[in-house]
Amino acid sequence: MTLLETIVPVAATGMFSWAWLMIAIPALAAALLLLGGKALDKVGPTLAVGAVWASFAIGLALFVSLLGSPVEARAVSVPLYEWISTGQWTITAGLLVDTLSILFVLLITGVGGLIHVYSLGYMAHDERKRRFFAFLNLFVAAMLVLVLADNYLVLFVGWEGVGLASYLLIGFWQHKPSAAAAAKKAFVMNRVGDLGMTMAVMAMLALFGSSAFTAVNHGIGQADQFWATLIGLLLLLGACGKSAQVPLQAWLLDAMEGPTPVSALIHAATMVTAGVYLVVRSHAIFELSSAASTAVVVVGTVTLLAGAWIGTSKDDIKKVLAGSTMSQIGYMMLAAGIGPAGYAFAIFHLLTHGFFKANMFLGAGSVMHGMEDDVNMRHYGALRKLMPWTFLTFAMGYLAIIGFPLTSGFFSKDHIIEAAFEHSTLVGSLALLGAGITAFYMTRLMLMTFFGEKRWLDGVHPHESPRVMTVPLVILAVLSIVAGAVMNGWIQGWLEPATGAHPHEVSWLPTPIGWATMAVVAAGVLVGWLVFGRKPIPTTAPATVNPLTIAGRNDLFGDAVNNTLVVQPTMMLADGAVGVDQRVIDAGADGLATMFTNLSNRGRRLQSGQVRRYALGLVAGVLLVGVLMILSQLA
Specify the residue, 535 or 602, whose C-beta has the smaller distance to other proteins. Answer: 602
Nearer to other proteins, 550 or 630 (CB): 630
Residues recorded for the chain: 635
Task: Give CA–CA dist 23/148, Å, rounded.
Answer: 9
Q: Report in angstroms how near the CB of residue 605 gets to other proteins at its nearest.
A: 8
CB 620, min distance to other proteins, A = 10
Question: Do you find a cis peptide bond into 497, omega within 30 degrees of 0?
Answer: no
Rg of the chain over all Cα atoms, to the nearest angstrom: 31
Residue 618 Cβ, how far from other proteins at the closest point, in Å?
A: 9
Per-residue mark of binding to other proteins, 552-591 (x: CB under 8 A): ----------------------------------------
Q: What does the per-residue mask of binding to other proteins show for 602-621, with x meaning CB under 8 A?
A: --x--xxxxxx--xx--x--
CB of 611 to other proteins, least distance (A): 5
Q: Is the CB of 534 or the CB of 604 nearer to other proteins?
A: 604
Shortest Cβ 569–other proteins spacing (Å):
52
Instruction: Dihedral sign for Cα 197, 233, 429, 437, please.
Output: negative
Nearest C-alpha neighbor of 504 from the set 296, 354, 350, 339: 339
Q: Least distance from C-beta 628 to other proteins, angstroms?
A: 19
d(CA 341, CA 499): 10
Smaller CB separation from other proteins, 535 or 604 = 604
Closer CB to other proteins, 88 or 607, in the complex: 607
**Nearest approach, Cβ of residue 577 and other proteins (Å):** 40
Q: Nearer Cβ to other proteins, position 38 or 612?
A: 612
Alpha-carbon gap, residue 309 to 257, rounded angstroms: 21
**Containing H/E element for 126?**
none
Nearer to other proteins, 543 or 611 (CB): 611
In the complex with other proteins, the residue whose CB is nearer, 178 or 608, is 608
Beta-carbon contacts of residue 476 (< 8 Å; ≥ 6 apart): 111, 114, 355, 356, 358, 359, 362, 393, 397
Task: Report how far residue 404's alpha carbon sits from residue 411's, in angstroms, rounded to the nearest whole number.
Answer: 9
Three-state SS at 401: helix
Q: Please state the closest distance from residue 625 (CB atom) to other proteins, in A.
A: 14
Query: Among 373, 397, 377, 406, which Cα is nearest to 325's?
Result: 397
Which residues, 359 to 378, sit near other proteins by CB under 8 A?
none
Choice between 125 and 602, CB closer to other proteins: 602
* 597 binding other proteins? (CB under 8 A): no
Q: Are the C-beta atoms of residues 464 and 388 closer than 8 Å to each other?
A: yes
**Minimum separation from the CB atom of position 619 to other proteins (A):** 5
Shortest CB 175 distance to other proteins, Å: 59
Amino acid at 502: H
Shortest CB 609 distance to other proteins, Å: 3
Contacts 24+ apart (CB under 8 A), 368-373: 368/260, 368/317, 368/318, 369/122, 369/465, 369/469, 370/462, 370/463, 370/464, 370/465, 371/456, 371/460, 371/462, 372/457, 372/459, 372/460
Distance CA 201, CA 506 (A): 36
Q: In the complex, what is the shortest distance from the CB of residue 564 to other proteins, in angstroms, rounded to a whole number?
A: 59
* Closer Cβ to other proteins, 125 or 604, answer by number: 604
Asked if residue 479 lies in contact with residue 486, where contact means CB atoms within 8 angstroms, the answer is no
Residue 435 vs residues 67, 114, 281, 367, 555: alpha-carbon distances, Å: 34, 28, 26, 25, 19
Determine the Cα angle at 343 with ends 442 and 407, to 5°. 35
Residue closer to other proteins, measured from CB, 461 or 605: 605
Q: Provide the residue type at 488 as one letter.
A: N
Which part of the chain contacts other proteins (CB under 8 A), choosing from 95-103, 422-430, 574-582, 601-609? 601-609
Comparing CB distances to other proteins, the nearer of 222 and 610 is 610
- Residues in contact with other proteins, counted by CB under 8 A, come to a total of 10
Q: Which is nearer to other proteins, 557 or 614 (CB)?
A: 614
Beta strands in 3-159 (DSSP E): 10-11, 75-85, 90-98
- Please tell me whether residue 98 adopts helix, strand or coil conformation: strand
Cα(448)–Cα(184) distance, rounded to whole angstroms?
A: 32
Q: Which CB, 534 or 602, lies closer to other proteins?
A: 602
Footprint on residues 18-77 left by other proteins (CB under 8 A)? none
Number of helices followed by number of strands (H, E) in the chain:
26, 3
We find the least distance from the C-beta atom of residue 617 to other proteins, in angstroms, to be: 10
Rounded distance between C-alpha atoms, residue 199 and residue 577, angstroms:
26
Of 182, 106, 194, the closest CA to residue 158 belongs to 194
Q: How far is the CB of 633 from other proteins (least distance, A)?
A: 18
Residue numbers at the binding site for other proteins (CB under 8 A):
604, 607-612, 615-616, 619
